[in-house]
């Protein structure tokens, strides 16, 4: 083995630095014959192993699932938008005949059902949270809304305060039988009677509360009636 | 599930971790990295019909990611870097480096100028040659080679400050 650096050494080292993952046959042959370049290749490989280890940080749990979930919801939203667009075309046609009626239709405020669905879609990542929240923690969050839950028959996967349509609400995700069930306590959204929610992916209900309303939303495969009944029984005003 | 859905799902499972890691090292922020990863795949889904060669998928996704990051920082006009988030929970398993050394390495990677960090990421994480990196970054391969070499030197110095860095190759 040679200990002298030669033009071949420069070529070999450039090749190693340029593409460490692929060592061509002529470089391999040179390495076998050159002690210094073998050492260089070894040092480079050790350094790259360390760098690679450093760069290979842990990836968030279920990242791929979350990406696919978001894509599914986008598709569903897209098809809803298409429906809305078609309605818009119809409304435009109607505008020619009844401009006042169309104006009222287009300027209608957001419905509470739309607000609830939009919030669930915007925070889809909470559907796969597994924080295992204690009832006391949930009640701390609900306290400003003057309500509490006496008990809960479901695992609480997530609970947090968040802005819902401009008001400070509480977002809760329960472990359902088949899919997660989202509860949205919306103090700023007042309704007089129970309303139902449905789109391509989710279904649910919005119930009037003393202070605002409560939306219960889940995947279409989940049976919601038992939740609606139990949650109403478990909720109490402070 | 149709072919397009299947193709996309395969892409997500194969490359989401790599895209996230690139995003993390480029954004220096874990939650932003996840947002950028989501945006990248959202754009990828819209234009997946344009992906003719599956072997080019990773480079294609990285190109989309780089555009998303540029768009994000361009829109926000952020000149300062976000808070460095290296912490012990994010460290990978390393047979060669202990936790303190890994943290030191993370810090050194964050401190690298982007022009050095990006080609290094592409070579070490992506497994690309200087030629391929040049195509992705729109740089001559010789410039890529120089930058990757300098990035390695800086990291090597950070890992072993006492080690004399030999300029074994004049680039």
Domain ranges in chain B are: 1-85, 95-171
| CATH class (in words) of the domain with range B95-171 | mainly alpha
pLDDT tens for the 238 residues of chain A, in order: 555 555 588 888 888 888 887 888 888 888 888 888 899 888 888 888 888 888 888 898 888 988 888 877 766 666 665 566 666 666 666 555 555 554 444 445 678 888 898 888 878 778 888 888 999 989 988 988 889 998 888 899 999 888 888 788 999 999 888 888 999 999 988 998 999 988 877 899 999 998 899 999 998 888 888 888 888 888 888 8
Q: What is the DSSP letter of A97?
A: H
Dist. CA B147–CA B141, nearest whole Å? 10
**Higher-confidence residue: A10 or B86?**
A10
Instruction: Number of helices (H) and strands (E) in chain A: give both, helices first.
Output: 8, 8
Report CB contact under 8 Å: B90, A19.
Answer: no
Per-residue pLDDT, B171: 43
Dist. CA B102–CA B86, nearest whole Å? 10
Dist. CA B33–CA A152, nearest whole Å? 36
Q: Which residue in chain A is spatially nearest to B37 when comparing CA positions?
A: A67
Q: Which residue in chain A is spatially nearest to B89 when comparing CA positions?
A: A58
Residue listed under structure tokens 């070499």? B149
Dist. CA A172–CA A127, nearest whole Å? 9
Cα of B132 vs its chain's centroid, Å: 14
Q: Residue A37: helix, strand or coil by DSSP?
A: helix
Q: Are A187 and A211 in contact (CB under 8 A)?
A: yes
Joined together, the tokens standing for residue B21 give: 């890691």
Report CB contact under 8 Å: B102, A54.
Answer: yes
Which three-class secondary structure string do you get for B50-103? HCCCHHHHHHHHHHHHHHHHHHHHHHHCCCCCCCCCCCHHHCCCCCCCCHHHHH
Dist. CA A67–CA A61, nearest whole Å? 12
Characterise B92 by phi-psi region: left (phi > 0), alpha (psi -120 to 50), beta (else).
beta
Report CB contact under 8 Å: A58, B24.
Answer: no
Interface test with A, best of B9, B16, B104 (most A CBs within 10 A): B16
Percent of all residues in chain B with a pLDDT value above 90, rounded to a whole number:
35
Q: What is the CATH number of domain B1-85?
A: 1.10.1740
Exposure string of A138-155, with b = 16+ CB inside 10 Å and e = fewer, is: bbebbeebebbbeebebe
Give the HSE-up count for residue A196: Cα atoms under 13 Å, Cβ half-sphere.
6
Per-residue pLDDT, B169: 47
Choose the closest CB to B12 out of A18, A52, A67.
A67
From the CA atom positions of chain B, what is the Rg in Å? 17
Q: Are A212 and A188 in contact (CB under 8 A)?
A: yes
| ipTM, 2 dp | 0.79
Choose the closest CB to B124 out of A52, A64, A67.
A52
Give chain A's contact residues with B (Cβ, < 8 Å).
Answer: 5, 10, 13-14, 17-22, 40, 44, 46-60, 63-64, 66-68, 70-71, 74
Q: Which residue in chain A is spatially nearest to B105 when comparing CA positions?
A: A54
Interaxial angle between packed helices B141-159 and B130-137, expressed in degrees from 0 to 180 and rounded to the nearest 10: 110
pLDDT at B84 over 50: no
Report CB contact under 8 Å: A55, B171.
Answer: no
Dist. CA B41–CA A71, nearest whole Å? 8
Instruction: Give the number of other CB atoms < 10 A from CB of residue A193.
Output: 7
Count of residues in chain B: 171
Choose the closest CB to A53 out of B17, B92, B171.
B92
Choose the closest CB to A68 out of B12, B123, B156.
B12
Give the HSE-up count for residue B91: Cα atoms under 13 Å, Cβ half-sphere.
18
Q: Residue B150: helix, strand or coil by DSSP?
A: helix
**Higher-confidence residue: B159 or B126?**
B126
Q: Which residue in chain A is spatially nearest to B141 when comparing CA positions?
A: A18
φ/ψ of B67, rounded to 5, equals -65, -40
Q: Residue A172: helix, strand or coil by DSSP?
A: strand
pLDDT band at B78 (very low <50, low <70, confident <90, very high): very low
């Amino acid at each position: 083995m040679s200990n002298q650096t030669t033009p071949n050494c420069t070529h070999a080292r450039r090749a190693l630095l340029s593409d460490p993952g692929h060592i061509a046959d002529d470089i391999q042959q040179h390495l076998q014959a050159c002690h210094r370049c073998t050492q260089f290749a070894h040092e480079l490989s050790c350094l790259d192993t360390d760098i690679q280890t450093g760069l290979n940080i842990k990836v968030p749990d279920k990242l791929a699932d979350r990406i696919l979930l978001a894509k599914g919801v986008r598709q569903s939203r897209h098809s809803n938008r298409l429906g809305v667009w078609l309605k818009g075309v119809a409304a435009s046609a109607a505008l020619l005949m009844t401009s006042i009626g169309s104006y009222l239709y287009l300027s209608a405020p957001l419905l509470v059902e739309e607000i609830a669905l939009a919030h669930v879609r915007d925070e889809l990542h909470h559907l796969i949270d597994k924080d295992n929240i204690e009832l006391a923690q949930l009640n701390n969050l609900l306290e400003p809304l003057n309500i509490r839950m006496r008990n809960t028959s479901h695992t609480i996967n997530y609970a947090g305060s968040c802005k819902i349509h401009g008001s400070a609400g509480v977002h809760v995700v329960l472990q359902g039988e088949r899919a997660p069930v989202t509860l949205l306590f919306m103090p700023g959204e007042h309704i007089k009677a129970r309303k139902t929610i449905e789109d391509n992916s989710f279904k649910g209900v919005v119930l009037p509360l003393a202070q605002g309303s409560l939306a219960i939303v889940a995947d279409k495969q989940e049976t919601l009636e038992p939740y609606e009944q139990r949650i109403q029984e478990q909720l109490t005003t402070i | 599930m149709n072919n397009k859905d299947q193709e996309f799902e395969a892409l997500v499972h194969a490359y989401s971790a790599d895209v996230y890691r690139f995003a993390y090292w480029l954004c220096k922020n874990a939650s932003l990295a996840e947002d950028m990863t989501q945006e990248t795949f959202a754009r990828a889904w819209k234009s997946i019909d344009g992906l003719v060669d599956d072997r080019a998928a990773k480079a294609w996704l990285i190109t989309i990611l780089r555009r998303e990051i540029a768009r994000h920082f361009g829109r926000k006009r952020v000149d300062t870097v976000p808070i460095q988030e290296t912490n012990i929970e994010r460290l990978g398993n390393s047979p060669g480096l202990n936790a303190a050394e890994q943290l030191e390495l993370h810090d050194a990677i964050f401190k690298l100028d982007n022009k050095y960090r990006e080609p290094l990421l592409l070579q070490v994480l992506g497994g690309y040659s200087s030629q391929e990196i040049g195509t992705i970054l729109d740089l001559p391969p010789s410039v890529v080679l120089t930058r990757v070499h300098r990035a390695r030197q800086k990291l090597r110095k950070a890992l072993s400050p006492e080690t004399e860095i030999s300029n074994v190759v004049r680039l």
